[in-house]
Amino acid sequence: MQLPNVHVLPETVPTLELQQLFADVLSASAPTSDKIDVLIELADKQWHTYERISPGLAADISKFINATWNPTDLPQTEMLLSIVGHLGLDASMSLFLAKSKSPETALLVRSEILEASREFGDLPLDPYIGMQATRGQPS
């Protein structure tokens, strides 16, 4: 199976369709870096639905992220943290925080993780923190 072409998707995509697209990415035969690129796009679209993904899908995406993450690769870490933040993936953020203390983790990667942790707030992650008061209200 190939990766879905996210560049042809409309700005707004229904949650059920996004969940299928996430599943398609995880099962696709494609380079990991390409999967990450598509997951970033899908995570952004999911974030704009103002709905959380299902716990099962969150676990599947976290499993992929946790298996993929290279603690010495800053650009990859930044991309994965974007996905984690947009989807509120507690399991991946917990792993990043725990491994950030390891000597195997590059100093710049550690700094990026700690900065993201401050930005995202405490666990459990809420990708919509600070928006509850205004969500759904006319501007």
In a domain, 7, yes or no: no
Structure tokens at 25: 């990415």
- The pLDDT score that the predictor gives to residue 51 is 92
Rounded mean pLDDT, 114-138: 78
Structure tokens at 120: 């995202």
Angle at 98 between CA 40 and CA 89, to 5 degrees: 30
Model confidence at 135, pLDDT cuts 50, 70, 90, reads very low
d(CA 25, CA 96): 22
Whether 37 and 78 have beta carbons less than 8 Å apart is answered as: no
pLDDT at 23 over 80: yes
* More confident position, 58 or 131: 58
Model confidence at 132, pLDDT cuts 50, 70, 90, reads low
In a domain, 105, yes or no: yes
In a domain, 130, yes or no: no
- E-strand stretches of 1-139: none
d(CA 114, CA 103): 15
pLDDT at 27 over 60: yes
CATH number at residue 72: 1.20.930
Contacts from 102-109 at CB under 8 Å and sequence distance 24+? 102/71, 104/71, 104/72, 105/71, 105/72, 106/71, 106/72, 106/73, 106/74, 108/74, 109/71, 109/72, 109/73, 109/74, 109/77
> What is the tally of structural domains in the chain?
1
- Compute how many other C-beta atoms are within 10 angstroms of the C-beta atom of residue 31: 10
In a domain, 138, yes or no: no
- The pLDDT score that the predictor gives to residue 1 is 77
How many CA atoms within 13 Å lie on the side-chain side of 130? 5
Residue 115: domain span:
12-120
